[in-house]
Structure 1
Amino acid sequence: MLEQFITVFTFTLTEKQKQTGIDKLKTLEYRKSSFNLMTFGSDEVVKSFNKIMQAFYTIDASQFEDDEEYALIMLTLISDLLLNIRKDLYTKKTKLKRSEMLEFMINDIKKYEEKINIKKV
């Protein structure tokens, strides 16, 4: 479900590869997965996913002076979703921070850790 969003922030990919990831948002398979998330996810998971989708649809990355601010917004939203899924499936008492939910896929996460953890969304 998050592959399409992660693709956008993978700076080593070409624009064509990124567009392919974005186009997957329009597929029937993706819509089915989204429907399942809306049906079976907790209220917090649904709210988190909706925030990501609305940000993706409404925020124009070109309005920011640099790509970093837009990326931080989206990474914060993605990490919130991951944390809420974790709370649903594992424990509501998790002590993990947003940035810790992203460490597995971002090699320079320490550079953005503080900003991601305190960002209001």
Structure 2
Amino acid sequence: MSTGAETTILSVVTAIGAVSTPIIVLILSAVGWKYRQSIERRIKMDEVMRDDRISVYNDILDPFIMLLMTEEAWQRDKKNKNIDKDKLAVDRMLSIEYRRYSFKLSLVGSDGVVLAFNNLMQYVYNMSEIENAKPYDLMILLGSLLLEIRKSMGNDATVIDSWGMLDWFITDARKIKNEYLQS
């Protein structure tokens, strides 16, 4: 008697397996296809937005590049004779055009870039209220922004820190870093 019951149970389990296997394969295939589509869409969006991001990043960084440029380097360009680079940089940062760049950054920038830019701008807005504001505070924030931009452009695994992002364009960046670390 138990052999017939075991055969019946085995037949039922076999039938359930035969019916459920194609359904499970179909469901897993659909989930895999949906996941692949999601990844492909994200990659395509990143490719489309890459040029736009580069343009916005350049526009956002322009005044900071001017502020950190030496006067000698600024005056080397003949079109900059008798132009106060610091005033020009601040005027650009206060312009409606810069606000448009900032707004666009908030739309196309990665979360890390937007947060680093927000931190930098909050510092700039409050510089007159911050007691004992030091140039390296601004440098750390700018270096963090540059690092986040680097990461958003595909260098997620970078080993460079925010100070390392400044070495190439601030002559005494390492000296300032050492002073910062000793204070």
TM-score band, normalised by the shorter chain? 0.7 to 0.9
Q: Aligned residues: percent identity?
A: 29
Structure with the higher helix share, 1 or 2: 2
Structure 1 counterpart of 2:152, from 88, 93, 103: 88
In angstroms, what is the RMSD of aligned CA positions? 2.6
Residue range with higher mean Cα deviation, 3-12 or 18-27 = 3-12
Cα–Cα, structure 1 residues 81 and 105, in superposed 2: closer, same or farther, change >3 Å? same
Structure 2 counterpart of 1:57, from 125, 134, 153: 125
Distance in 1 of aligned mates of 2:118 and 2:171: 27
For the pair 1:105 / 2:173, whether they are aligned, the reply is no
Cα–Cα, structure 1 residues 93 and 113, in superposed 2: closer, same or farther, change >3 Å? same
Q: Secondary structure at the residue paired with 2:112?
A: helix
Post-superposition offset of 1:81: 0.6
Aligned to 2:9: none
Larger RCO (CA within 8 A; separation ≥ 6)? 1
Post-superposition offset of 1:57: 0.5
Distance in 1 of aligned mates of 2:109 and 2:170: 26
Aligned to 1:5: 64
C-alpha contact 1:61 1:70 (8 A) present in aligned 2: no
Post-superposition offset of 1:62: 7.9
C-alpha contact 2:136 2:177 (8 A) present in aligned 1: no
Distance in 1 of aligned mates of 2:83 and 2:96: 23
C-alpha contact 1:4 1:25 (8 A) present in aligned 2: yes
TM, length-normalised to structure 2: 0.53
Residue range with higher mean Cα deviation, 9-18 or 71-80 = 9-18
Cα–Cα, structure 1 residues 15 and 49, in superposed 2: closer, same or farther, change >3 Å? same
Q: Secondary structure at the residue paired with 1:101?
A: coil
Cα–Cα, structure 1 residues 9 and 15, in superposed 2: closer, same or farther, change >3 Å? farther
Structure 2 residues without counterparts, runs of 5 or longer:
1-59, 75-81
Distance in 1 of aligned mates of 2:177 and 2:129: 21
1:35-50 paired onto structure 2 within 5 Å:
35-50=103-118
Deviation string, structure 1 residues 44-65 (Cα, Å, up to 9, x no partner): 111100111110001228832x
C-alpha contact 1:9 1:71 (8 A) present in aligned 2: no
TM, length-normalised to structure 1: 0.77
Q: What residue identity is the alignment partner of 1:106?
A: I
Structure 1 residues without counterparts, runs of 5 or longer:
none
